[in-house]
Amino acid sequence: MDLLEQILSNKNMNEAYRRVYRNKGASGIDGITVDELKEYLKEHKDELRQRIRTRKYQPQAALRVEIPKENGKMRKLGIPTVVDRVVQQAIHQVLSPVFEKQFSDFSYGFRPKRSCEMAIIQSLEFLNDGYDWVVDIDLERFFDTVNHDKLMRIIANTIDDGDVISLIRKYLVSGVMVNGSYEETPVGTPQGGNLSPLLSNILLNELDKELEKRELRFVRYADDALIFVKSGKAADRVMKTIVRFIEGKLGLIVNAEKSRIARPKDLRFLGFGYYYDSRHKRYQVRPHPVSVQKFQRKLRHLTKRNWSIPLDYRIVKLKQVIVGWVNYFRIANMKIKGNCGS
């Protein structure tokens, strides 16, 4: 069975529908909800498949929404229609195992059986092996700046199926609706689509391969990358050459203000801060002060007296937030107070 038929198979499409339904989420520009999706697919699935096979299928524009980031700026998300989410998920399910075989052991984001916790544990291993100068690379607006041609060339090196390549490109250029008017998307992969995390890993795997070729120690989680070396001089050299590679070969933009050479105590990675434990003579992690403040803000919001909601609901929400926090930071030392950067 060729790749497109694997994507369109009953089994794969049904699984994609179940995933999209489980994740719920808002409607796209056509207003069809996840609850109406089953009925819609029952009626239109054969026609949908036929249009995809004959390359007549045209994904709808994603609905642009903006959500506030911690720094006060806005993160742009694109909400595809529920039907497009199913098709994207179906593509993801078939392509993910193909590319997984190529991905680095040191990349942890958006991958099966991998987690933030594993990335943190690996970073501590490198630090405690003496690689305690860190090149902290920050990619500027990564999802908005991906070069489509570069990405499609990399995909085409592995995927020898013109129909699948054509379908992925259609999703990249399907545009967004902003306040009722259509905008083209000549670059970028829309954050919010089911395919975006896989596409970002496919592109950034080129960076992983380059780092491995140079025998550098690194940890990458999505577009956050830390490179570990033994001296300030090595860190300077790596920073210069890797920035050149990222901008020249991958066509991405490195944020010069946020990218830096850091010592462990100055790091913030995936919500964790690092410190040297002199009793055990090794680096450890704890929740970064910024993460602690964020947690405290959530708790204050949930315990506001003037918030007129039933007590039962408030308790459930509080429990969810506290259990989520404790589980996420379970590998950290929670007892130590004070600033990780001190």
Beta-bridged to residue 64, according to DSSP, are 78
Residue 335: pLDDT band (50, 70, 90) is low
Instruction: Supply the pLDDT for residue 340.
Output: 38
How far is 51 from 30, CA to CA, in rounded Å? 18
Residues in Cβ contact with 84 at an 8 Å cutoff, skipping those fewer than 6 apart: 28, 59, 60, 62, 171, 174, 193
- Return the SS3 of 285: strand
| Contact assessment for residue 105 and residue 43, using Cβ atoms and an 8 Å cutoff | no
Specify the DSSP class assigned to residue 231: S
Phi, psi (deg, nearest 5) at residue 138: -115, 120
| Contact assessment for residue 260 and residue 136, using Cβ atoms and an 8 Å cutoff | yes
How far is 298 from 318, CA to CA, in rounded Å? 9
- Mean of pLDDT values over 128-135: 98
> Is residue 305 classed exposed, middle or buried when 0-12, 13-18 and 19+ CB atoms within 10 A define those classes?
exposed
pLDDT in tens, 76-114: 889 999 999 999 999 999 999 999 999 999 999 999 999
| Contact assessment for residue 219 and residue 106, using Cβ atoms and an 8 Å cutoff | yes
| Contact assessment for residue 85 and residue 196, using Cβ atoms and an 8 Å cutoff | no
- Mean of pLDDT values over 162-173: 96
336 residue type, one letter? I
Instruction: Supply the pLDDT for residue 336.
Output: 45
Residues in the chain: 342
> In terms of C-beta distances under 8 Å and separation of at least 24 residues, what long-range contacts does 91-96 make, across chains too?
91/7, 91/164, 91/167, 91/168, 91/195, 92/16, 92/194, 92/195, 92/198, 93/7, 93/12, 93/15, 93/16, 94/3, 94/6, 94/7, 94/12, 95/159, 95/164, 95/198, 96/198
> Is residue 206 classed exposed, middle or buried when 0-12, 13-18 and 19+ CB atoms within 10 A define those classes?
middle
The Cβ-side half-sphere exposure at 299, using a 13 Å CA radius, reads 11
- Mean of pLDDT values over 190-199: 88
Distances in Å between the Cα of 169 and the Cα atoms of 91, 92, 143, 250 are 12, 14, 15, 18
Instruction: Supply the pLDDT for residue 17.
Output: 97
- Mean of pLDDT values over 37-52: 96
Residues in Cβ contact with 23 at an 8 Å cutoff, skipping those fewer than 6 apart: none
Tell me what percent of the residues of the chain surpass a pLDDT of 70. Answer: 97
Strand blocks (E) in the chain: 62-68, 74-79, 133-138, 176-178, 181-183, 217-221, 224-229, 260-262, 268-269, 272-277, 282-287
pLDDT of residue 14 exceeding 60, the answer is yes
338 or 128, higher pLDDT: 128
Of 272, 273, 271, 291, the residue nearest 340 (C-alpha): 273
Of the chain, the end-to-end C-alpha distance in Å amounts to 59
pLDDT in tens, 275-321: 999 999 999 999 999 999 999 999 998 888 877 788 898 999 999 99
How far is 179 from 197, CA to CA, in rounded Å? 25
Mean pLDDT of the chain: 93
> Is residue 79 classed exposed, middle or buried when 0-12, 13-18 and 19+ CB atoms within 10 A define those classes?
buried
